[in-house]
Structure 1
């Protein structure tokens, strides 16, 4: 009897997942892909709420092959995912969280997309239920793109379709030493190593479910875990991408998504000891990875806060965070014939503080909100160059 390789292995890591697991498994059973083209490997990570029994009942009932592995609790999502990946036989692997669910036709559409384009990673549109997922990458379906040409760097969760051969060739596994952000590290590496990434933006492939009990790993744990996560992702990017614009474009993500929230409204509630510790943890990251190219990509309030962290000025940071928390609108100052818009957040042109004007320079996206702003365009740059050349030609040669 010939055993046909499944197209996709669905890896489900589950811990205390009831009752959400019931709908999760129902969404797998409802997939339109032929049951013979799919296998499920479910890892119960030491649950005590009936999760393991639910998985075994599912395995006994459905027509698709299901392997249930029950193990002692590993303490995080990386262990179960790695166990499942090590057992996977499919051409592709999809990591499904036990409290989430697949959209209709999700696996069939993602496998078809990868096969049609020869891409190594496929992102299917994500919608939230009691949670808000990232949105900026779903503007348009992309048959083939990469991490530098799209917004996919802002979705680094593990719920993607990965070509298993890519993962095996590079020995990729989830970092079990990280308690949060382990999926960001794995997914960013896959993006960087992939021969193309596809994005399905016109069909919901995944529902990210917010648990009523609030038991999400990303919502738990102390602030030091966030610094661990930021450090790991920044190191990965630095190891894989040479210095320059492309590296800066990727560093934008850990600075804004992981590091910056530590110096947001929650910073106002921190004790003086915690504030000092946050600055200590941030110092090596700012020294190694904070560049003008990264700063330029940030909004003014983000750039100003991280500038003060980089300059080790906690006493100046508090008023800025209070200003941001109050959602005050910074006054705008248009200069250079409307081509520059400065946003007057605290300490703007305060000579006693000496923060450079460049920190307060609005990004084009911010500046467009203000009447009178004149955006630099390739045509305007060309016109200035032509005018300058004409002036040079009209100037009499020096005697």
Structure 2
């Protein structure tokens, strides 16, 4: 298998990263390392070359001019890879000792094309919702793997080669999300290894793991690319809506969070301009109903281009105030009273404030409309069709 490390100004974190590669329990003869130094000036290249000269693992070090982002080094490494599997390891992170052995074994055992190993954050947060249980075989529609689209996964190289998959070098952020989601969608099965920490996501003190250059516009580029991929690969309907939740919730919505309150008026207008074609093309009732009320309401106001109303909602959310609840239909319908609820002037549909069962259960007095469920209706219909036995019925 091939471990691909793209490195830029990675010292001193690279030392522990490489130590974690050297400590892998998989037979060194079954792996290769392809390390690409992307124009570093802090000794990263020299550290990689010293590692290559010392360890029993076959290591290829490539030194190149700075490409400006992680996509270039990853693509260079991928072009050189010869292993059945590839794993993209960031130079400031590290692997659990048994990570590669366990992930390769899982892919071999189940015939799956992508393996996700459990991730743990070190001085930074890591995704959590997909690690509830180990799954030998799943897909992007049946699990929460859509909420971890970083590149630090095990990929079957034949899958990537068959579809000519490479990282989009025109994207300065979110390039790994597009690559990984495409792999999920094209894969013959995905495995989730949840009972062993395979990857340690390390927070750098200098913050260089976070893309900052270019500001907010990069996030819209990322959202646009991911939404287009989903629309191109998944027909319109519930399955597409399910996947669209991810770019709307993770990439687009934060642009209309607390930071929006301090944005200059010109920036606010620009954000609305950037969001408009995305909302027009991809915002659907199916996406909306899968979100919490405050998420759905904010995105609805973005779609309606109502910055004036959005400001009031964002202020309310930032204050972390609990929205009052309005119960109707004998407690089976619950609305959350965020700003402009049932305001004739605002004209926002009630559905934007309607909590689904998961959100509504937290409120006293709410009861799920079980009486209106299909099984109950079917049972009532059967009972009406049965012959009735009443007083005065003659004996047979």
Q: Following TM superposition, by how much is the alpha carbon of 1:219 offset from its aligned partner in structure 2, in angstroms?
A: 4.7
- Cα pair distance change 1:379/1:35, threshold 3 Å: farther
Give the Cα separation in 1 of the matches to 2:330 and 2:97: 53
Unpaired stretches in structure 1, ≥5 consecutive residues: 1-7, 395-399
1:267-323 CA-to-partner distances (Å, cap 9, x unmatched) read 011000000000000000000000000000010000000000001111111010000
1:318 aligns with 2:311: yes
Separation (CA, whole Å) in 1 of partners of 2:102 and 2:323: 46
1:65 pairs with 2:28: no
Q: CA deviation at 1:385?
A: 3.9
* Residue pair 2:371, 2:377 contacting (<8 A) in 1 also: no
1:141 lines up with 2:134 in the alignment: yes
Aligned to 1:358: 351
The equivalences for 1:157-168 within 5 A come to 157-168=150-161
Q: Distance in 1 between matches of 2:228 and 2:385?
A: 48
RMSD value over aligned CA atoms? 1.5
Q: CA deviation at 1:372?
A: 2.4
Q: Which runs of 4+ in 1 moved over 4 A?
A: 376-379, 388-394
Q: How does 1:48-197 map to 2 (within 5 A)?
A: 48-197=41-190
Distance 1:311 1:27 in 2: 50
The 3 A distance-change label for structure 1 pair 274 and 113 is same
Measure the CA separation in 2 of the matches of 1:379 and 1:352: 34
Return 5+ residue gaps in structure 2 as ranges. 388-396
| 1:397 matched residue in structure 2 | none
- The answer to whether structure 1 residue 37 and structure 2 residue 30 are counterparts is yes
Q: CA deviation at 1:393?
A: 9.1
Post-superposition shift, 1:377? 5.2
Match of 1:208 among 177, 180, 201: 201
Shift of 1:389: 6.5
Residue matched to 1:332 = 325
User: Separation in 1 of the partners of 2:371 and 2:19?
Assistant: 53
Q: TM-score, normalised by structure 1?
A: 0.95
Q: Secondary structure at the match of 2:211?
A: helix
CA contact (8 A) 1:180 1:217 kept: no
After TM superposition, give the deviation of residue 217 of structure 1 in Å: 3.7
Contact kept? 1:256, 1:302, Cα under 8 Å: yes
Q: TM-score, normalised by structure 2?
A: 0.95
SS at match of 2:63: strand
- Take 1:210 and 1:312, find their aligned partners in 2: how far apart are those partners? 36
Find the counterpart in structure 2 of residue 272 from structure 1: 265
Instruction: Say whether the 8 Å CA contact 2:31–2:57 is kept in structure 1.
Output: yes
